[in-house]
Structure 1
């Protein structure tokens, strides 16, 4: 277990033992179901940890030219790449770094497929499909919401797919269960199965939270085995993001000040929600804090002083850079460590340097109980982004 007092503040720190536990489960599911499960960089791209990942998985998925390069140059295998729109500038590099390329539209396919044909190495191409079904409730994360820019609906597919389309890619989930996948598959098969004889692979996208405690992995394995039995010629691919690093480490922060206004106490931290935990404000959700009870947001407005209820505030100048409420078992003190749980996925890949605020370090706690700091951020990192 991570010794928090040996971790610098602020710092994202991943627990290698917990990571390996997740990776072992994912590999077991993939092997038993006979499918390929690959890592989505949009959730996690801490490349110095890739040697650990390579012990369990072979491939990754990219959504941009930089992610594709990361797959090829740092993970050591070519990416399964999808982007809403490729550009003439990026596409040659995308081809060099990708084994699979999925197009979002037929106009993009027609524009770039001649370049794929002229490329000296084999690349398999696909089209993103939209089954017009998703159980994702937060519209910000719903790729099948009405008016979405993602994918092609069944009514727009020609009876015979264009030469060069060898796969379908579909992404409809966000931290979803196997039962939501089951419902989605019913819609996919109902609308798109007539084209399955023309394709070689089916990518079921991400959002499969396989490593969550209540996830029914046996149901998932059965679901995927039955899918393969119905379409034995299809290679089935899943590309979860959060599942790989779910509950594998916290963001360690410190209290730098405590202020009170109209009876509301705010512990100001050396981290920022808007800079370092943006999903908390976007979704929104309150992260678990070690040693504290998460309360309803407005609970602080009626809390008694002796109840040790606090908001946690970020150190940016954004007025809304705070969350709350949390109840602690003691009055917080300046300098005290605050451990924000489960902060390895969709954090480092989305952070920013708004206000020039110091970016948390990135580290891993190894299985031999040693800390390795992968990256410390300095003034030059901020300066060099600006010009």
Structure 2
């Protein structure tokens, strides 16, 4: 099936692999997994994902509503700062409402009954290669750091959330962190029903010791008598989607530069934010080197430098890997560029175009 580029292509067979690992962790450890919608909220594949996951977790009212309406199962609602109107609405969707601060808990706790209440905790340590994404950075506003004040609020709480990882694929580091949480907060956890360990744990990575990870989770849950939750985002969808583009021009300025019909800022924004290059599934070992760049007016609109087996020509396809997590949720209308369509390769191999964007979508994005 020929689809006009650019488009995002989600592969359900690749997605299924991650889902099966998530299910394996649940069966071995008892830990439940709720999808982090801030990372991935493309609901056309939720029918597959909800067979293996326990629900969703959100960062806003709209995400909580989306999780409730399109995923179902458990709906956890968290936000760094709720307004009163947010809270009055979110209680209609959420099983658990997690507050970022004690002041928000005190202000709104009476408005969210009968939802179970939680607080985010800042344990004072983290695992992150980027200061921008480090929840325990200096002056962090994310979570409660004062354990004494936290303990005073226990009668109002049923659980806690610790979100302190970003792309942590090392079991030993995770185990040491979990031990520190147990040592510091174990007395509090024993008085609660559940604990969320957040996201940022890359346990679906090829070769990750899933059984040892699951045992660590099971032992922690048993020691403190809590239901453990994980909030996988990228672990759920890594390696499952591509941004498919076509070459529209090739120019030369000391090096060969291939310009494609997509752009980094509107279509793979996370690369720009973290100053990363795009990935390709090909071996990247050809003899023809090109800088691949987007067609926006931004001078730094560059996907990266790649080696190709053959010379590139107008119309050639270039596919960028890992185009799901923190990518599709951030797409925007910068420069008024054509928004990539969304397509899914279903489990039976058929490809379905589930959404195409038109000038009308661009027109109605603002007023």
Structure 1 residues 277-286 or 141-150, which shifts more?
Answer: 277-286
Q: Is the 8 A contact 1:129 1:151 kept in 2?
A: yes
Who is 1:191 aligned against? 184
Who is 2:208 aligned against? 215
Instruction: Tell me, in whole angstroms, the C-alpha distance in 1 between the residues paired with 2:115 and 2:325.
Output: 29
Task: State yes or no: 1:237 paired with 2:229.
Answer: yes
Residue deviations 1:10-53 (CA, integer Å, cap 9, x gap): 11111111111111111111111011111111111111211111
Aligned with 1:143 (options 118, 132, 135): 135
Task: State yes or no: 1:321 paired with 2:301.
Answer: yes
Task: State yes or no: 1:66 paired with 2:57.
Answer: no
Q: CA deviation at 1:384?
A: 0.4
Task: State yes or no: 1:280 paired with 2:271.
Answer: yes
Residue deviations 1:259-292 (CA, integer Å, cap 9, x gap): 111x122111111111111111112222222445
What is the correspondence of 1:6-45 to structure 2 with a 5 Å cutoff? Answer: 6-45=2-41
Residue deviations 1:195-230 (CA, integer Å, cap 9, x gap): 122211110000111211132212211111110221
Aligned with 1:353 (options 328, 333, 338): 333
Q: Is the 8 A contact 1:290 1:338 kept in 2?
A: no
Task: State yes or no: 1:172 paired with 2:164.
Answer: yes
* TM-score normalised according to structure 2 size: 0.95
**What SS does structure 1 have at the residue aligned with 2:144?**
coil
Q: For the structure 1 residues 367 and 264, does the alpha-carbon distance in structure 2 shift closer, same or farther, using more than 3 Å as the test?
A: same
Who is 2:358 aligned against? 378
* TM-score normalised according to structure 1 size: 0.91
Instruction: Tell me, in whole angstroms, the C-alpha distance in 2 between the residues paired with 1:361 and 1:288.
Output: 20
Who is 2:322 aligned against? 342
**What SS does structure 2 have at the residue aligned with 1:293?**
coil
Residue deviations 1:130-177 (CA, integer Å, cap 9, x gap): 111112121111111111110011445254334321111010111212
What is the correspondence of 1:251-266 to structure 2 with a 5 Å cutoff? Answer: 251-261=243-253, 263-266=254-257
Who is 2:79 aligned against? 83
Aligned with 2:115 (options 114, 123, 135): 123
Instruction: Tell me, in whole angstroms, the C-alpha distance in 1 between the residues paired with 2:281 and 2:223.
Output: 46
Instruction: Tell me, in whole angstroms, the C-alpha distance in 2 between the residues paired with 1:374 and 1:114.
Output: 41
Q: For the structure 1 residues 257 and 346, does the alpha-carbon distance in structure 2 shift closer, same or farther, using more than 3 Å as the test?
A: same
Q: For the structure 1 residues 159 and 348, does the alpha-carbon distance in structure 2 shift closer, same or farther, using more than 3 Å as the test?
A: closer
Q: For the structure 1 residues 223 and 207, does the alpha-carbon distance in structure 2 shift closer, same or farther, using more than 3 Å as the test?
A: same
Task: State yes or no: 1:228 paired with 2:221.
Answer: yes
Structure 1 residues 94-103 or 210-219, which shifts more?
Answer: 210-219
Task: State yes or no: 1:366 paired with 2:346.
Answer: yes
Q: For the structure 1 residues 229 and 76, does the alpha-carbon distance in structure 2 shift closer, same or farther, using more than 3 Å as the test?
A: closer
Q: Is the 8 A contact 1:133 1:187 kept in 2?
A: no
**What SS does structure 2 have at the residue aligned with 1:69?**
helix
For structure 2, the 5+ residue unaligned runs are none
Q: CA deviation at 1:326?
A: 0.9
Instruction: Tell me, in whole angstroms, the C-alpha distance in 2 between the residues paired with 1:228 and 1:162.
Output: 19
Q: For the structure 1 residues 155 and 28, does the alpha-carbon distance in structure 2 shift closer, same or farther, using more than 3 Å as the test?
A: closer
Instruction: Tell me, in whole angstroms, the C-alpha distance in 1 between the residues paired with 2:173 and 2:149.
Output: 25
Task: State yes or no: 1:113 paired with 2:91.
Answer: no
Q: CA deviation at 1:194?
A: 2.1
Instruction: Tell me, in whole angstroms, the C-alpha distance in 2 between the residues paired with 1:17 and 1:363.
Output: 14
Q: Is the 8 A contact 2:78 2:99 kept in 1?
A: yes
Aligned with 1:271 (options 262, 275, 285): 262
